[in-house]
Amino acid sequence: MTDEVALWKQRIMERKAKGQTIVDWCKEHNVTKGSYNYWRKQVAYAEGTANKPTAIPQPITFAKVQTTGLTRSALQITWQDVSIQLTDHQEAHLAAEVIAHLRSLC
């Protein structure tokens, strides 16, 4: 168990001993609930009380680009229930940055 995992194990045990909710503890210690849950899982993995999930490759699908029905020059990207319409150069530049960031996460 690393020092950081041991530290979080101690923090989690102290929170439980005080009977404090996760939300209250996180507010008091300026920690996001997501960070708390991440470390709670790391402690469980280190103790062998939880199995680390294995990555399951997801198929990559590309958005279908449609230009029909648009009244001006624009790009509409639709994926599942999310749709983004880009109507000028600045929006297209921002979309390219978002796509590059998402690609780096995959």
Query: Within a domain: residue 59?
Result: no
Q: Please state the domain count of the chain.
A: 2
Lowest mean pLDDT among 17-21, 43-47, 64-68, 91-95: 64-68
Query: Within a domain: residue 78?
Result: yes
Query: Within a domain: residue 57?
Result: no
Full-model pTM? 0.48
As a whole number of Å, the CA-based R_g of the chain is 22
Q: Based on the domain organization, do 39 and 74 belong to the same domain?
A: no
Range of the domain at 87: 64-105
Distances (CA, A) of 27 to 35, 67, 75: 12, 48, 42
**What does the pLDDT average to over 89-106?**
72
Give the helix/strand (H/E) hosting 21: none
**What does the pLDDT average to over 69-77?**
62
Nearest to 8 by CA among 28, 38, 33, 52: 38
Give 12 or 83, the one with higher predicted confidence.
Answer: 12
Q: Based on the domain organization, do 41 and 7 belong to the same domain?
A: yes
